[in-house]
Amino acid sequence: MDSPFGLLAELTYRCPLACPYCSNPLNMAGYRDELALDEWRRVLAEAGDLGVLQCHLSGGEPLLRRDLVEIAAAAHDLGLYTNLVTSAVGLSRPRAERLRAAGLDHVQISIQADEAAVSDRIAGIPSFRRKIEAMRLVKELGWPLTMNVVLHRHNIDRVADVLTLAEEVGADRLELANTQYYGWAWRNRAALLPSRAQLDAAEVVVRAARERLRDRMDVIYVISDYYSRYPKPCMGGWASRQLTVTPNGDVLPCPAAQSLPLPRASVREDSLARIWAESPVMNAFRGTDWMPEPCRSCFRREVDFGGCRCQAFLLTGDAARTDPVCHLSPDHHLVAGAVEAANTGSRAGDPALVPRPHRARRPDRIPRGSG
Protein backbone atom coordinates (compact mmCIF):
# COMPACT_ATOMS: atom_id res chain seq x y z
CA MET A 1 0.00 0.00 0.00
CA ASP A 2 1.17 3.52 -0.77
CA SER A 3 -0.41 5.00 2.34
CA PRO A 4 -1.48 3.76 5.77
CA PHE A 5 -5.13 3.26 6.65
CA GLY A 6 -4.69 3.07 10.44
CA LEU A 7 -3.21 5.49 12.99
CA LEU A 8 -2.56 4.45 16.58
CA ALA A 9 -2.50 7.73 18.49
CA GLU A 10 -0.83 6.97 21.82
CA LEU A 11 -1.91 10.06 23.71
CA THR A 12 -0.11 9.28 26.97
CA TYR A 13 1.76 6.40 28.59
CA ARG A 14 0.40 7.34 32.00
CA CYS A 15 -1.96 4.69 33.36
CA PRO A 16 -3.64 3.95 36.70
CA LEU A 17 -3.18 0.20 36.22
CA ALA A 18 -0.07 -1.89 36.81
CA CYS A 19 -0.57 -4.78 34.37
CA PRO A 20 2.47 -7.08 34.28
CA TYR A 21 2.05 -7.66 30.52
CA CYS A 22 1.99 -3.97 29.49
CA SER A 23 3.79 -3.45 26.17
CA ASN A 24 4.49 0.24 26.74
CA PRO A 25 8.15 1.30 27.10
CA LEU A 26 10.11 0.49 30.23
CA ASN A 27 11.67 3.96 30.06
CA MET A 28 8.69 6.18 30.78
CA ALA A 29 10.77 9.30 31.43
CA GLY A 30 11.39 9.81 27.72
CA TYR A 31 7.68 10.34 27.03
CA ARG A 32 6.67 12.93 29.62
CA ASP A 33 6.70 15.84 27.13
CA GLU A 34 3.37 14.92 25.58
CA LEU A 35 2.03 16.47 22.39
CA ALA A 36 -0.34 19.33 23.08
CA LEU A 37 -3.87 19.56 21.69
CA ASP A 38 -2.87 21.77 18.74
CA GLU A 39 -0.06 19.36 17.87
CA TRP A 40 -2.46 16.42 17.86
CA ARG A 41 -4.89 18.39 15.69
CA ARG A 42 -2.11 18.93 13.15
CA VAL A 43 -1.06 15.27 13.29
CA LEU A 44 -4.64 14.12 12.72
CA ALA A 45 -5.06 16.49 9.77
CA GLU A 46 -1.82 15.24 8.22
CA ALA A 47 -2.91 11.65 8.83
CA GLY A 48 -6.17 12.31 6.98
CA ASP A 49 -4.27 13.87 4.07
CA LEU A 50 -2.03 10.79 4.01
CA GLY A 51 -5.02 8.48 3.58
CA VAL A 52 -5.63 7.28 7.14
CA LEU A 53 -9.22 6.15 7.70
CA GLN A 54 -9.13 4.74 11.24
CA CYS A 55 -7.82 6.50 14.34
CA HIS A 56 -7.32 4.51 17.55
CA LEU A 57 -7.01 6.76 20.62
CA SER A 58 -4.86 4.80 23.02
CA GLY A 59 -2.12 4.92 25.64
CA GLY A 60 -1.41 4.16 28.50
CA GLU A 61 -4.79 5.43 29.52
CA PRO A 62 -6.14 8.09 27.12
CA LEU A 63 -8.82 9.13 29.62
CA LEU A 64 -6.03 10.81 31.60
CA ARG A 65 -5.82 13.44 28.85
CA ARG A 66 -8.05 16.36 29.88
CA ASP A 67 -8.38 17.28 26.19
CA LEU A 68 -9.50 13.83 25.03
CA VAL A 69 -12.93 15.12 23.97
CA GLU A 70 -11.32 17.81 21.82
CA ILE A 71 -8.92 15.30 20.24
CA ALA A 72 -11.79 12.91 19.47
CA ALA A 73 -13.83 15.77 18.00
CA ALA A 74 -10.92 16.82 15.78
CA ALA A 75 -10.56 13.29 14.42
CA HIS A 76 -14.32 13.03 13.84
CA ASP A 77 -14.45 16.38 12.04
CA LEU A 78 -11.73 15.12 9.67
CA GLY A 79 -13.87 12.10 8.78
CA LEU A 80 -11.76 9.54 10.64
CA TYR A 81 -13.40 6.51 12.25
CA THR A 82 -12.44 6.82 15.92
CA ASN A 83 -11.96 4.05 18.46
CA LEU A 84 -11.19 4.69 22.13
CA VAL A 85 -8.88 1.99 23.55
CA THR A 86 -9.22 2.25 27.31
CA SER A 87 -9.17 0.56 30.70
CA ALA A 88 -12.38 2.57 31.33
CA VAL A 89 -11.09 3.66 34.73
CA GLY A 90 -12.27 7.26 34.81
CA LEU A 91 -15.06 6.88 32.24
CA SER A 92 -17.86 8.61 34.12
CA ARG A 93 -21.25 9.26 32.53
CA PRO A 94 -20.54 12.99 31.91
CA ARG A 95 -17.27 12.18 30.17
CA ALA A 96 -18.87 9.42 28.12
CA GLU A 97 -21.72 11.71 27.05
CA ARG A 98 -19.25 14.39 25.96
CA LEU A 99 -17.27 11.85 23.94
CA ARG A 100 -20.50 10.62 22.33
CA ALA A 101 -21.45 14.17 21.39
CA ALA A 102 -17.94 14.71 19.98
CA GLY A 103 -18.51 11.90 17.50
CA LEU A 104 -16.46 9.05 18.98
CA ASP A 105 -17.45 5.96 16.99
CA HIS A 106 -16.37 2.94 19.03
CA VAL A 107 -15.11 1.95 22.49
CA GLN A 108 -12.74 -0.90 23.33
CA ILE A 109 -12.46 -1.74 27.02
CA SER A 110 -9.81 -4.03 28.46
CA ILE A 111 -10.49 -6.32 31.37
CA GLN A 112 -8.10 -8.75 32.99
CA ALA A 113 -10.42 -11.66 33.85
CA ASP A 114 -14.05 -12.58 34.37
CA GLU A 115 -14.00 -12.33 38.17
CA ALA A 116 -13.22 -9.35 40.36
CA ALA A 117 -10.50 -10.82 42.60
CA VAL A 118 -8.50 -12.24 39.68
CA SER A 119 -8.97 -9.21 37.45
CA ASP A 120 -8.01 -6.75 40.18
CA ARG A 121 -4.94 -8.77 41.15
CA ILE A 122 -3.66 -8.73 37.57
CA ALA A 123 -4.55 -5.05 37.03
CA GLY A 124 -2.84 -4.03 40.24
CA ILE A 125 -5.78 -1.97 41.53
CA PRO A 126 -9.48 -2.56 42.25
CA SER A 127 -11.00 -1.86 38.83
CA PHE A 128 -13.22 -4.78 37.79
CA ARG A 129 -16.52 -3.29 38.98
CA ARG A 130 -15.79 0.05 37.33
CA LYS A 131 -14.98 -1.69 34.06
CA ILE A 132 -18.27 -3.60 34.08
CA GLU A 133 -20.19 -0.41 34.84
CA ALA A 134 -18.37 1.34 32.00
CA MET A 135 -19.23 -1.44 29.54
CA ARG A 136 -22.90 -1.15 30.42
CA LEU A 137 -22.70 2.63 30.03
CA VAL A 138 -21.11 2.23 26.60
CA LYS A 139 -23.95 -0.02 25.46
CA GLU A 140 -26.56 2.31 26.98
CA LEU A 141 -25.16 5.23 24.96
CA GLY A 142 -25.36 3.22 21.76
CA TRP A 143 -21.70 2.62 21.01
CA PRO A 144 -20.35 -0.61 19.56
CA LEU A 145 -18.37 -2.32 22.33
CA THR A 146 -15.23 -4.39 22.03
CA MET A 147 -14.11 -6.23 25.15
CA ASN A 148 -10.40 -7.04 25.13
CA VAL A 149 -8.70 -9.64 27.32
CA VAL A 150 -4.96 -10.29 27.17
CA LEU A 151 -4.46 -13.99 27.78
CA HIS A 152 -1.58 -15.55 29.73
CA ARG A 153 -0.80 -18.32 32.19
CA HIS A 154 -2.83 -16.69 34.97
CA ASN A 155 -6.17 -16.30 33.17
CA ILE A 156 -6.27 -18.45 30.03
CA ASP A 157 -7.99 -21.28 31.93
CA ARG A 158 -10.93 -18.88 32.44
CA VAL A 159 -11.72 -18.34 28.75
CA ALA A 160 -15.17 -19.96 28.99
CA ASP A 161 -16.14 -17.63 31.83
CA VAL A 162 -14.70 -14.63 29.95
CA LEU A 163 -16.96 -15.51 27.02
CA THR A 164 -19.94 -15.67 29.35
CA LEU A 165 -19.07 -12.25 30.75
CA ALA A 166 -18.81 -10.80 27.22
CA GLU A 167 -22.31 -12.07 26.48
CA GLU A 168 -23.66 -10.63 29.75
CA VAL A 169 -22.36 -7.12 29.03
CA GLY A 170 -23.54 -7.25 25.41
CA ALA A 171 -20.14 -6.96 23.74
CA ASP A 172 -20.30 -6.76 19.96
CA ARG A 173 -16.73 -7.98 19.64
CA LEU A 174 -14.44 -9.94 21.94
CA GLU A 175 -10.68 -9.93 21.46
CA LEU A 176 -8.86 -12.77 23.16
CA ALA A 177 -5.24 -11.89 22.55
CA ASN A 178 -2.41 -14.06 23.79
CA THR A 179 0.33 -11.91 25.31
CA GLN A 180 2.90 -10.35 22.99
CA TYR A 181 6.25 -10.29 24.77
CA TYR A 182 7.41 -6.68 24.69
CA GLY A 183 7.89 -4.12 27.46
CA TRP A 184 6.84 -5.44 30.86
CA ALA A 185 5.52 -8.62 29.26
CA TRP A 186 9.06 -9.40 28.10
CA ARG A 187 10.32 -8.93 31.64
CA ASN A 188 7.55 -11.22 32.93
CA ARG A 189 7.67 -13.78 30.12
CA ALA A 190 8.57 -16.76 32.32
CA ALA A 191 5.58 -16.06 34.57
CA LEU A 192 3.13 -15.32 31.73
CA LEU A 193 3.80 -17.91 29.03
CA PRO A 194 1.04 -20.55 29.15
CA SER A 195 1.54 -24.26 28.71
CA ARG A 196 0.58 -26.11 25.54
CA ALA A 197 -2.18 -27.91 27.44
CA GLN A 198 -3.65 -24.56 28.49
CA LEU A 199 -3.58 -23.27 24.92
CA ASP A 200 -5.10 -26.43 23.47
CA ALA A 201 -7.96 -26.35 25.99
CA ALA A 202 -8.62 -22.64 25.35
CA GLU A 203 -8.71 -23.10 21.58
CA VAL A 204 -11.37 -25.80 21.88
CA VAL A 205 -13.53 -23.44 23.93
CA VAL A 206 -13.01 -20.53 21.52
CA ARG A 207 -13.83 -22.58 18.42
CA ALA A 208 -17.11 -23.72 19.97
CA ALA A 209 -17.97 -20.17 21.05
CA ARG A 210 -17.29 -18.75 17.58
CA GLU A 211 -19.79 -21.19 16.12
CA ARG A 212 -22.40 -20.56 18.80
CA LEU A 213 -22.06 -16.76 18.76
CA ARG A 214 -21.39 -16.17 15.06
CA ASP A 215 -24.62 -14.18 14.58
CA ARG A 216 -24.27 -12.16 17.80
CA MET A 217 -20.62 -11.46 18.53
CA ASP A 218 -17.31 -11.44 16.68
CA VAL A 219 -14.84 -13.54 18.66
CA ILE A 220 -11.24 -12.79 17.70
CA TYR A 221 -8.55 -15.13 18.97
CA VAL A 222 -4.92 -14.07 18.58
CA ILE A 223 -2.78 -17.18 18.89
CA SER A 224 0.38 -17.34 20.94
CA ASP A 225 3.45 -16.53 18.81
CA TYR A 226 5.70 -18.87 20.72
CA TYR A 227 3.58 -21.89 19.83
CA SER A 228 3.23 -21.06 16.13
CA ARG A 229 5.07 -22.81 13.32
CA TYR A 230 5.40 -19.54 11.41
CA PRO A 231 5.46 -15.95 12.71
CA LYS A 232 2.68 -13.42 12.18
CA PRO A 233 3.35 -10.53 9.79
CA CYS A 234 4.37 -7.37 11.64
CA MET A 235 1.31 -5.09 11.42
CA GLY A 236 0.56 -6.59 8.00
CA GLY A 237 4.09 -5.75 6.88
CA TRP A 238 6.56 -3.18 8.26
CA ALA A 239 5.25 0.34 7.54
CA SER A 240 2.74 -0.85 4.96
CA ARG A 241 -0.68 -0.37 6.59
CA GLN A 242 -0.34 1.20 10.02
CA LEU A 243 1.65 3.82 11.86
CA THR A 244 1.95 4.80 15.50
CA VAL A 245 2.50 8.26 16.98
CA THR A 246 3.80 8.11 20.55
CA PRO A 247 2.96 10.64 23.30
CA ASN A 248 6.09 12.71 22.59
CA GLY A 249 5.56 12.74 18.82
CA ASP A 250 7.84 9.92 17.68
CA VAL A 251 6.46 8.09 14.63
CA LEU A 252 6.86 4.32 14.45
CA PRO A 253 5.69 1.50 12.17
CA CYS A 254 4.38 -0.43 15.18
CA PRO A 255 3.78 0.23 18.91
CA ALA A 256 6.82 -1.77 20.07
CA ALA A 257 9.41 -0.35 17.68
CA GLN A 258 10.72 2.22 20.15
CA SER A 259 12.94 -0.58 21.47
CA LEU A 260 14.86 -0.85 18.19
CA PRO A 261 18.16 1.00 17.57
CA LEU A 262 16.79 3.03 14.66
CA PRO A 263 16.92 6.79 13.97
CA ARG A 264 13.98 8.62 15.48
CA ALA A 265 11.42 10.54 13.41
CA SER A 266 9.16 13.08 15.10
CA VAL A 267 6.09 15.04 14.06
CA ARG A 268 7.67 17.95 15.92
CA GLU A 269 10.44 18.02 13.33
CA ASP A 270 8.85 16.86 10.08
CA SER A 271 5.51 16.21 8.40
CA LEU A 272 3.79 12.86 8.74
CA ALA A 273 3.85 12.42 4.95
CA ARG A 274 7.62 12.88 4.71
CA ILE A 275 8.20 10.60 7.68
CA TRP A 276 6.00 7.89 6.17
CA ALA A 277 7.69 8.06 2.77
CA GLU A 278 11.31 8.92 3.52
CA SER A 279 12.36 8.33 7.12
CA PRO A 280 14.89 5.57 7.90
CA VAL A 281 12.65 4.14 10.63
CA MET A 282 9.85 3.55 8.14
CA ASN A 283 12.09 2.22 5.37
CA ALA A 284 14.37 0.02 7.47
CA PHE A 285 12.38 -3.19 6.93
CA ARG A 286 9.85 -2.30 4.24
CA GLY A 287 9.25 -4.91 1.57
CA THR A 288 11.57 -7.89 1.25
CA ASP A 289 14.95 -6.58 0.04
CA TRP A 290 16.36 -6.41 3.58
CA MET A 291 15.69 -10.07 4.32
CA PRO A 292 18.41 -12.57 5.24
CA GLU A 293 18.15 -16.28 4.59
CA PRO A 294 16.08 -18.31 5.13
CA CYS A 295 13.46 -15.56 4.65
CA ARG A 296 14.87 -14.29 1.34
CA SER A 297 14.20 -17.55 -0.50
CA CYS A 298 11.12 -18.60 1.52
CA PHE A 299 7.75 -18.94 -0.22
CA ARG A 300 6.20 -17.08 2.76
CA ARG A 301 8.39 -13.97 2.47
CA GLU A 302 5.43 -11.86 1.29
CA VAL A 303 3.03 -13.55 3.70
CA ASP A 304 4.72 -12.95 7.06
CA PHE A 305 7.52 -10.56 5.90
CA GLY A 306 10.06 -12.28 8.10
CA GLY A 307 7.91 -11.91 11.21
CA CYS A 308 8.28 -9.35 13.98
CA ARG A 309 11.38 -7.14 13.94
CA CYS A 310 10.94 -6.20 17.59
CA GLN A 311 10.69 -9.84 18.64
CA ALA A 312 13.78 -10.68 16.59
CA PHE A 313 15.70 -7.87 18.30
CA LEU A 314 14.61 -8.80 21.81
CA LEU A 315 15.52 -12.45 21.32
CA THR A 316 18.73 -12.12 19.28
CA GLY A 317 19.93 -8.51 19.58
CA ASP A 318 19.60 -8.09 15.79
CA ALA A 319 16.40 -6.66 14.33
CA ALA A 320 17.31 -7.97 10.86
CA ARG A 321 17.33 -11.64 11.90
CA THR A 322 14.54 -14.03 10.97
CA ASP A 323 11.93 -13.98 13.73
CA PRO A 324 12.96 -16.87 16.04
CA VAL A 325 9.32 -17.92 16.30
CA CYS A 326 9.68 -19.39 12.81
CA HIS A 327 10.65 -23.07 12.91
CA LEU A 328 13.07 -22.37 10.04
CA SER A 329 14.96 -19.68 11.93
CA PRO A 330 18.53 -20.52 13.00
CA ASP A 331 17.57 -18.95 16.33
CA HIS A 332 14.40 -20.96 16.88
CA HIS A 333 15.99 -22.70 19.87
CA LEU A 334 15.54 -19.43 21.81
CA VAL A 335 11.78 -19.76 21.53
CA ALA A 336 11.76 -23.54 21.90
CA GLY A 337 13.65 -23.22 25.17
CA ALA A 338 11.09 -20.79 26.60
CA VAL A 339 8.26 -23.09 25.51
CA GLU A 340 9.96 -26.10 27.08
CA ALA A 341 10.35 -24.24 30.36
CA ALA A 342 6.67 -23.26 30.33
CA ASN A 343 5.69 -26.90 29.89
CA THR A 344 8.05 -28.53 32.37
CA GLY A 345 8.19 -26.01 35.21
CA SER A 346 6.18 -26.54 38.35
CA ARG A 347 3.12 -24.30 38.59
CA ALA A 348 3.90 -23.88 42.29
CA GLY A 349 7.37 -22.70 41.34
CA ASP A 350 6.31 -20.09 38.74
CA PRO A 351 8.24 -16.83 39.11
CA ALA A 352 6.34 -13.93 40.63
CA LEU A 353 4.84 -11.30 38.32
CA VAL A 354 6.56 -7.92 38.36
CA PRO A 355 3.85 -5.25 38.11
CA ARG A 356 4.28 -2.25 35.82
CA PRO A 357 4.86 0.86 37.97
CA HIS A 358 1.87 3.19 38.27
CA ARG A 359 2.27 6.31 36.14
CA ALA A 360 -0.84 8.35 36.84
CA ARG A 361 -2.74 10.37 39.35
CA ARG A 362 -5.31 8.45 41.27
CA PRO A 363 -8.28 7.96 38.90
CA ASP A 364 -10.73 9.42 41.42
CA ARG A 365 -8.88 12.72 41.15
CA ILE A 366 -9.77 13.10 37.49
CA PRO A 367 -12.28 15.99 37.41
CA ARG A 368 -15.79 14.87 36.59
CA GLY A 369 -16.80 15.86 33.10
CA SER A 370 -13.25 16.52 31.95
CA GLY A 371 -12.18 15.35 28.52
**Residue set of the binding site for [4Fe-4S] cluster:** 15, 19, 22
Secondary structure string (H, E, C) spanning the chain: CCCCCEEEEECCCCECCCCCCCCCCCCHHHHCCCCCHHHHHHHHHHHHHHCCCEEEEECCCHHHCCCHHHHHHHHHHCCCEEEEEECCCCCCHHHHHHHHHCCCCEEEEECCCCCHHHHHHHHCCCCHHHHHHHHHHHHHCCCCEEEEEEECCCCHHHHHHHHHHHHHHCCCEEEEEECCCCHHHHHCHHHHCCCHHHHHHHHHHHHHHHHHHCCCCEEEEECCHHHCCCCCCHHHCCCCCEEEECCCCEEECCCCHHHCCCCCCECCCCCHHHHHHHCHHHHCCCCCCCCCCCCCCCCCCCCCCCCCHHHHHHHHCCCCCCCCCCCCCCCHHHHHHHHHHHHHCCHHHCCCCCCCCCECCCHHHCCCCCC
Residues annotated within the binding site are: 15, 19, 22
Residues 6+ away with beta carbon under 8 Å from 95: 63, 69, 368, 369, 370, 371
Task: Compute φ and ψ for 159, nearest 5 degrees.
Answer: -60, -40
